[in-house]
C-alpha cells in the first residue's frame, strides 16, 4: 500500500533523469554519513580493489548530490559524524536497523569495519532510540529490509541466521530468511529493493532455490531485474513508496518502475561503487 502523502515539494530532477513527482511519503527519515575518509584500502567484497585509485573529493561530491536529492524530495536527513580511519562508514545502511523507535546495532563480519558498530550505536543512543546491542554477526539494513509488517532478512555472506532470530525477538515481527548465493551480491540490499509495503524488485539468481520460491510465492507481482542491471547495483536503490532513487545506468529497471506508477530519480555514485556500495548502502531508513 502506498503511504499517506504530505505537502507538495518541488524537486528538480538531476540531469538525465525522469522528473520527480511532487508528493512524498510522510516523515520519511534517513541517516547518512559523509565519505570524508572514504578510500579502498582493503578488499572484503568482489567490487573492491586497493590497486585502483579512489578520489575522495569526487566521492564527497557524489554523496552530496544524493543528500541534496533527498532534501529536495522533502526527506528528513540525519547525518552521523564520520570517524577517521573508518573508510567504509559512509555505507550507513550497514550501521544498524531501526523500527518502532528501537535500534538494533551492527556486528560486522570483518575486523576492518568492526568499530563502525559502536560509532553507529552511539549515534542511536544520543538520538533517543531504544538501543539493542547485537550478540550475533549482522550488517544492519544491508541484510534487513522491512516490507509492510515483514522483515526480509539476508544471510549467506555477512549476517548470521542467529541474528535473524535476535531481530525476531526484539521487534516481534515476522522475519523471512533468504539465502544469498552470489558473492557479488553479498548483502540483501544489493539483490532486492523494497518499493512499497507490498511490492519488491529482485534478482532471482542472487538467491538459492528456496529463496526464489519464497519470494515468488509472497510477491508474485515483483519486478524481476536481470544481472546486467543488478551488476551496476541497480537494485541498491531507495524507495519512499512513491519515488525510487536508483543508479541511472539501470535504465530498464527505471522504465519498469515508471510502468508500475513509481517516479524515478537517477543519482550516479561511481566513486563509491569502487567500495561495493550504492545509493541504498549510503542510506539507512530511520523508523521511530
- Flag whether 180 is in a domain: yes
pLDDT beyond 50 at 13: no
> Percentage of the chain surpassing pLDDT 90?
91
**Hey, how many other C-beta atoms are within 10 angstroms of the C-beta on 267?**
23
pLDDT for res 6:
26
SS3 content of the chain, % helix, strand, coil (to 5): 30, 25, 45
How many Cα atoms occupy the beta-carbon half-sphere of 69 within 13 Å? Answer: 31
| Active-site option among 132, 147, 155, 281 | 281
The alpha-helical segments, DSSP class H, found in 78-143 are 114-126
Whole-model pTM?
0.90
- Flag whether 10 is in a domain: no
**Residues 194-242 pLDDT 10s:** 999 999 999 999 999 999 999 999 999 999 999 999 999 999 999 999 9
Domain that holds residue 42: 29-286
- Flag whether 24 is in a domain: no
The alpha-helical segments, DSSP class H, found in the chain are 56-72, 114-126, 161-171, 209-218, 227-230, 251-259, 270-273
- Flag whether 22 is in a domain: no
CATH classification at residue 207: 3.75.10.10
- Flag whether 13 is in a domain: no
- Flag whether 8 is in a domain: no
| Mean pLDDT of the 245-271 span | 98
| Mean pLDDT of the 1-25 span | 34
* 281 counts as catalytic: yes
CA–CA gap between residue 125 and residue 120 (Å, rounded): 9
Residue 1: pLDDT band (50, 70, 90) is very low
| C-beta separation of 123 from 80 below 8 A | yes
CA–CA gap between residue 234 and residue 225 (Å, rounded): 9
pLDDT beyond 80 at 3: no
Number of domains comprising the chain: 1
pLDDT for res 26:
56
Burial of 206 (0-12, 13-18, 19+ CB in 10 A): buried
**Residues 16-74 pLDDT 10s:** 333 333 344 457 999 999 999 999 999 999 999 999 999 999 999 999 999 999 999 99
* 187 counts as catalytic: yes
| Active-site option among 37, 132, 155, 187 | 187
Amino acid at each position: 500500500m502506498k503511504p499517506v502523502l504530505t505537502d507538495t515539494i518541488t524537486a528538480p530532477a538531476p540531469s538525465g533523469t525522469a522528473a520527480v513527482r511532487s508528493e512524498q511519503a510522510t516523515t520519511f527519515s534517513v541517516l547518512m554519513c559523509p565519505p570524508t575518509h572514504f578510500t579502498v584500502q582493503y578488499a572484503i567484497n568482489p567490487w573492491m580493489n586497493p590497486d585502483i585509485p579512489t578520489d575522495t573529493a569526487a566521492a564527497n561530491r557524489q554523496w552530496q548530490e544524493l543528500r541534496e536529492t533527498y532534501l529536495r524530495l522533502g526527506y528528513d536527513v540525519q547525518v552521523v559524524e564520520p570517524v577517521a580511519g573508518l573508510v567504509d562508514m559512509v555505507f550507513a545502511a550497514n550501521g544498524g536497523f531501526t523500527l518502532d523507535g528501537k535500534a538494533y546495532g551492527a556486528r560486522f563480519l570483518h575486523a576492518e569495519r568492526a568499530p563502525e558498530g559502536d560509532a553507529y550505536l552511539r549515534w542511536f543512543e544520543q538520538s533517543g532510540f531504544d538501543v539493542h546491542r547485537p550478540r550475533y554477526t549482522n550488517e544492519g539494513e544491508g541484510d534487513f529490509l522491512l516490507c509492510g509488517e515483514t522483515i526480509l532478512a539476508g544471510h549467506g555472506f555477512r549476517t548470521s541466521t542467529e541474528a535473524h532470530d535476535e531481530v525476531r525477538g526484539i521487534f516481534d515481527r515476522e522475519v523471512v530468511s533468504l539465502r544469498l548465493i552470489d558473492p557479488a551480491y553479498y548483502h540483501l540490499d544489493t539483490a532486492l529493493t523494497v518499493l512499497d509495503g507490498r511490492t519488491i524488485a529482485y534478482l532471482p539468481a542472487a538467491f538459492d532455490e528456496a529463496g526464489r520460491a519464497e519470494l515468488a510465492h509472497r510477491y508474485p507481482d515483483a519486478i524481476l531485474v536481470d544481472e546486467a542491471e543488478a551488476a551496476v547495483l541497480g537494485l541498491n536503490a531507495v524507495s519512499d513508496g512513491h519515488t525510487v532513487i536508483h543508479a541511472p545506468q539501470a535504465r530498464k529497471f527505471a522504465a519498469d518502475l515508471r510502468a508500475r506508477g513509481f517516479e524515478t530519480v537517477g543519482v550516479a555514485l561511481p566513486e563509491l561503487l569502487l567500495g561495493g556500495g550504492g545509493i541504498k548502502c549510503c542510506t539507512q531508513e530511520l523508523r521511530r
